[in-house]
Structure 1
């Protein structure tokens, strides 16, 4: 399946991965932006925050978009991720200025007509849309395992692995919850149009994991 990722798509995914990761690394250093208190940090600490963001937010974003792509391919439709340079800039700028990340780095474009002329059905569109949030929720499982084995269950907790575990759960739950909102072009709106019970289940699960990640962990 990875052979179906085009060279341009690789570049777009890489650019989005870096920009989104940088945005989340910035808010770790300056939770309220440059106008608020900034946590003193040496280059090593800043690099650690970037690595954590690359392994959590970055991977969550790429996995989300590739899930849409491969789900579309499964139904016989072609799909490619396309970055949005303006939104990538907005993501980094908002993180730096006010400590808020609005991660809408682009979208997976689905060509809604197959070679045989058949168009995308509402059910197929809903399942393809659900694939992204479902993938993020599934990613919470290995991050939760990492959190447990490097923290509560470890005799000598590893701070870096512990932080990757916590941040990985929080970010992936956040990506899932945001995308499941029934708004405009977000995944939730398409899932809702296809299957109301599936929409309620995914929305409730995403927010339950998100809230739990901040108040229980």
Structure 2
């Protein structure tokens, strides 16, 4: 089938790849603005590259996690970017907030509630694992540029986990809450703890 890429049972269409790249670039820009404001400067370019790398791991693996689990259940699942939400994310970033709903993996098959919940929780769990990894790198006191990138990774992945666990609209939290409330509150509590930790790190000046 033209435009279809296959790795084992995992498949992805060209239009999905285009949507993922578009969403990745927009969210990277939004986080770069939130983390230090917008300017036509070398410092902003470095911040954008750091945000792009950390969003690249956080956002892309989050969405691909949904898709992989859905396809393991034998379901048809495709990522779709929400163009309005991408513009909203960039606009809101100038006010210090990232509305991180750039798109979603749409399940195009009939799915049970437990499957939907497990597919949904995969994304935030991936973000928490990545946040923990970036935190561990930061605590090793690497060179300052790596420490700064690690902080961005910790912050961005913690925020993606918290935001996606909001139990509203098409966000993951709504599906996880409907499936298993114990899992929901456990993941949410860890995500909030990580956000509190990043705020402490930011105010303490540990992220240079």
**TM-score clears 0.5:** yes
Distance (whole Å) between structure 1 residues aligned to residue 61 and residue 183 of structure 2 = 21
- The answer to whether the aligner puts 1:168 opposite 2:153 as a matched pair is yes
Please state how far the C-alpha of 1:42 moved relative to its aligned partner.
Answer: 6.3
- The answer to whether the aligner puts 1:133 opposite 2:124 as a matched pair is yes
Please state how far the C-alpha of 1:43 moved relative to its aligned partner.
Answer: 3.0
Please state how far the C-alpha of 1:57 moved relative to its aligned partner.
Answer: 2.5
Alpha-carbon contact 1:17-1:59 (below 8 Å) kept: no
Distance (whole Å) between structure 2 residues aligned to residue 64 and residue 198 of structure 1 = 17
Tell which deviates more after alignment, 87-96 or 61-70: 87-96
> Out of 105, 108, 111, which is 2:108 matched to?
111
SS at match of 2:168: coil
Residues 161-208 of structure 1, C-alpha deviations (whole Å, 9 max, x = no match): 101111111111111111112223221111111111111111111111
Distance (whole Å) between structure 1 residues aligned to residue 84 and residue 130 of structure 2 = 28
Please give the TM-score of this superposition, normalised by the length of structure 2: 0.87
SS at match of 1:29: coil
- The answer to whether the aligner puts 1:9 opposite 2:16 as a matched pair is yes
Tell which deviates more after alignment, 119-128 or 42-51: 42-51
Distance (whole Å) between structure 1 residues aligned to residue 70 and residue 200 of structure 2 = 36
The count of residues paired between Structure 1 and Structure 2 equals: 195
**Cα root mean square deviation, aligned:** 1.8
> Out of 12, 23, 28, which is 2:35 matched to?
28
Distance (whole Å) between structure 1 residues aligned to residue 49 and residue 137 of structure 2 = 16
Alpha-carbon contact 1:84-1:106 (below 8 Å) kept: yes
User: What runs of 5+ residues in structure 1 fail to find an aligned partner?
Assistant: 31-37, 113-118
